[in-house]
Amino acid sequence: MSFLELQQLKKVFPDGTEAVKGIDLHAEAGEFVVLLGPSGCGKTTTLRMIAGLEMPTSGRIAIAGRNVTMLRPSERDVGFVFQFYALYPHLSVAQNIGFPLEAAGVRRAERDERVRAVARSMGLLPLLECYPRQLSGGDQQRVSLARAVVRHPAIFLMDEPLGTLDADQRLEMREFIRGRQQEMKVTTIYVTHDQEEAMSLADRIVVMQGGTICQAGPAAEVYDDPASLFVANFVGSPGMNFIPGHVRAHGGRCVFMPDRAQTPIPLKASIAPGPATLGIRPEFLHASPQGPISGTVVMNEYQGSFRSIHIDAGFTGTIAMRAGESSRLQPGQKIRLDLDAAHARFFDTQSGRRIGHAI
Amino acid sequence: MLHRVSLDVNADELVVVLGPTGAGKTTLLRTIAGLQTPHEGRVLLGAADVTGTSPAARDVAIVFQDFSLYPNWTVRANLEFPLRAPGHALRLAEINNRVEWAAGILKITHLLDRKSQKLSGGEMQRVAIGRAIVRRPRVFLMDEPLTNLDAKLREALRLELVCLRRELKTPMLFVTHDQVEALSMGDRVVVLSEGRILQTGTPEDIYRRPASPVVARQIGQPAINLLNVRREDGRWKTSGGVAVAEARESHPAEKAIIGVRPEDVACTGGEHPAAVRVVEAIGPAKVLLADWAGCEIHVLAPATMAVQPGDRIFPRANPDRIVVWNCE
């Protein structure tokens, strides 16, 4: 049995919105699980149900083998970190961190000792006497993290804790959270809409959409072998490119014929003939004078260590190619592209599901 | 607060102002829009001094982070609003034309009769941008318009905004704390900190030739490595004894800070070993954090590299890619 188990968990709000549609999810002891998806996918509702801040309509939640479905938040032994720091403005940092202990009736001396220990491990010692308004966003979030840690909860729940931070602080906090979690080995469920954040933090990513789980797996697996068009596009920046077309048998080999008849693309694997959507990541596309895909450059996005070239090839949406930092491709320029067929993925155009491995 | 900020935006240019919270970005925009009056200095639009004029007379459009739509109004009513303002008095047919035109460009025609409170965040921001373009203003001012959107949506709108601006040929000043937006959208980038401009240049300039360690830290993800070094036997060495690069004679200083971006550090070829502490796989690449004789270093490695925490690497900074700042 896993440390955290969600069984057929479902949430219907009074207005009829089905926010979570009966999901099964588990997390092992010490595992860092990230719930990833766009606004409205049900990730935050799921987290709030685990915390006990939201009652499920049906289903079961067990933490460490104990059924907590009907328990109050305070009885579940969870530490919650919100997007907005939710610190008490009139309390000092030390008092904020110590608050959960005070509420639990821990004696003064022990409280002070534990607050100092946590503050030391999080680099907050010099700030203990400060008030929240005197701190930067990053430090405030560090304090709310410390407040969640101080009780030694069985499980951490984090709802977009980096959402309101500036970009530079976000990166620093990301490493900080990851480092602390690895040290303490506390099971963590973390919610975000930012796929890069998810990939960098997670032992396992759970991609959600429309109240259901689309795919759950390690970051590399979700990135390399997405289960659906949605996952393929949502994970990665820019996401996977899609080329609609048909798979055909051609002289004993498989080829992919893009719609809007261009040149056939020879495949390395055999896929059942029929309509399909080819998916390819930007880093597996390259400019090639004889390439099967032709289009016009729409934008050359500088990203520092690389460039994203966006190309209109006549498909829905643009095609993004990852290029070197020195690429001088200009909007309006014609270009032909080739792809590394070993990295092509195929999806059912209708259902969006993955249909085979081209390896 | 702003301190003697001088900035030109050309007629067909997108300039991004990049800075952390509190840098003065919003104050700058509000001063240009006429929502705030400067204590000193002038604001010129075209060749005219508009410093003392009202916001309405300046003919600039501003888009805010929180969209600022009228929630109970339809999308159409929100788009018409700036055209019905006193002083605009456009004929009804012209108002309709402009609303349809803006809605078409922003792909919100199907939403025109919907109440704006029923829209998603991305749709709301499209309407807010629409409300700015219907007026065909002389300048667009954008105050972190993508910040409140989901990461994925942000990516898509970024691209659309740049294409839209190119089409409209109207100058745009875009304010953000997001370095990815600054690099990818800007024709030029202005780095603002505590009310002062630290550097102005093309995205490549700012990324490759940052004027100071402070600028360098603000741009690039993962962040640039900054190493405190001292001249020793003709080489720049860290306090842990790692020789990072040759110290040219032309560099007069004895102490310096060396900046080297994670993608410019190779995992092999260096003299001193480093112990890998954290490995982050972020899709097309891996980010390694390693201890290099007492200093931390980030290295961007290929996704295909097999590496785990505890492994040893021999980092080597590409000598053509380092930046050296005097430390005196």
What average pLDDT does range B118-127 have in this prediction?
A: 87
Per-residue pLDDT, A112: 93
Chain A residues within 8 A of B262 when measuring between CB atoms: 305
More confident residue, B42 or A316: B42
Q: Is B30 exposed, middle or buried (0-12, 13-18, 19+ CB in 10 A)?
A: middle
Per-residue pLDDT, B184: 95
Per-residue pLDDT, B195: 94
Per-residue pLDDT, A262: 65
H/E element holding B168? helix B151-168
pLDDT, mean over chain A: 91
* Cβ within 8 Å of B, A 271-290: 281-283
What average pLDDT does range B239-266 have in this prediction?
A: 89
As beta bridge partners, residue A245 has A258, A276
Per-residue pLDDT, A358: 41
* Residues 6 or more apart whose Cβ sits within 8 Å of residue A66: none
Per-residue pLDDT, A5: 97
- The hierarchical CATH code for the domain A238-357 is 2.40.50.140
In the predicted structure, residue A167 carries a pLDDT above the cut 90: no
What DSSP designation does A106 have?
Answer: -
Chain B residues within 8 A of A318 when measuring between CB atoms: 159
Please choose, from the candidates A75, A61, A64, A78, the residue with its C-alpha nearest in 3D space to the C-alpha of residue A190.
A78
d(CA B26, CA B37): 13
In the predicted structure, residue B155 carries a pLDDT above the cut 70: yes
d(CA B25, CA B23): 6
In sign, the C-alpha dihedral spanning A88, A93, A94, A100 is: positive
Q: Where are the beta strands (DSSP E) in A56-193?
A: 58-63, 66-67, 78-81, 155-159, 187-192
Please choose, from the candidates A292, A323, A330, the residue with its C-alpha nearest in 3D space to the C-alpha of residue A308.
A323
In the predicted structure, residue B59 carries a pLDDT above the cut 70: yes
A101-145 per-position pLDDT tens digit: 998 889 999 999 999 998 988 889 999 999 999 988 888 888 988
**How many CB pairs below 8 A link A and B?**
101
In the predicted structure, residue B210 carries a pLDDT above the cut 70: yes
Contact B152 A239 (CB under 8 A): yes
What is the reported pTM?
A: 0.88
What average pLDDT does range A197-223 have in this prediction?
A: 95
- CA distances to B125, B133, B190, B252 from B28, rounded to whole Å, are 22, 21, 12, 38
Per-residue pLDDT, A10: 97
d(CA B157, CA A299): 13
Per-residue pLDDT, A261: 63
Q: Looking at the partner chain, which of B163, B217, B262 has a beta carbon nearest the beta carbon of A168?
A: B217
Separation of CA B2 from chain center: 19
Q: Looking at the partner chain, which of B121, B150, B282 has a beta carbon nearest the beta carbon of A196?
A: B282
A255-291 per-position pLDDT tens digit: 999 987 668 888 887 788 999 999 999 999 999 998 8
Residue B328 pLDDT grade (very low, low, confident, very high; cuts 50, 70, 90): low
Note the ipTM here: 0.85
Contact B184 A302 (CB under 8 A): yes
H/E element holding B232? strand B225-232
B10, B202 in Cβ contact below 8 A?
no
Token duo for residue B102? 């803006």
As beta bridge partners, residue B176 has B18
Per-residue pLDDT, A52: 94
As annotated, the residues of chain A forming the CATH 3.40.50.300 domain(s) are 4-228
Q: Is B212 exposed, middle or buried (0-12, 13-18, 19+ CB in 10 A)?
A: middle
Half-sphere exposure of A66 (CA within 13 A, CB side): 10
d(CA B123, CA A210): 18
In the predicted structure, residue A70 carries a pLDDT above the cut 60: yes
Query: What percentage of residues in chain A have a pLDDT greater than 70?
Result: 98
- The hierarchical CATH code for the domain A4-228 is 3.40.50.300
What average pLDDT does range B168-173 have in this prediction?
A: 94
Point out the least confidently predicted range of A161-175, B39-53, B54-68, B190-204.
A161-175
As annotated, the residues of chain A forming the CATH 2.40.50.140 domain(s) are 238-357
Three-state secondary structure of B276-322? EEEEEECCCEEEEEEEECCEEEEEEEECCCCCCCCCEECCEECHHHC
Residue A199 pLDDT grade (very low, low, confident, very high; cuts 50, 70, 90): very high
Angstroms from B277 CA to nearest CA on chain A: 10
What average pLDDT does range A241-246 have in this prediction?
A: 94
Q: Which residue in chain A has the smallest CA separation from B222?
A: A171
Per-residue pLDDT, A148: 87
Angstroms from B304 CA to nearest CA on chain A: 11
d(CA A157, CA B263): 33
Interface test with B, best of A305, A322, A328, A330 (most B CBs within 10 A): A305
Interface test with A, best of B146, B157, B159 (most A CBs within 10 A): B159
Token duo for residue B253? 């200083």
Per-residue pLDDT, A98: 93
For chain B, say whether A299 makes contact (Cβ under 8 Å).
yes
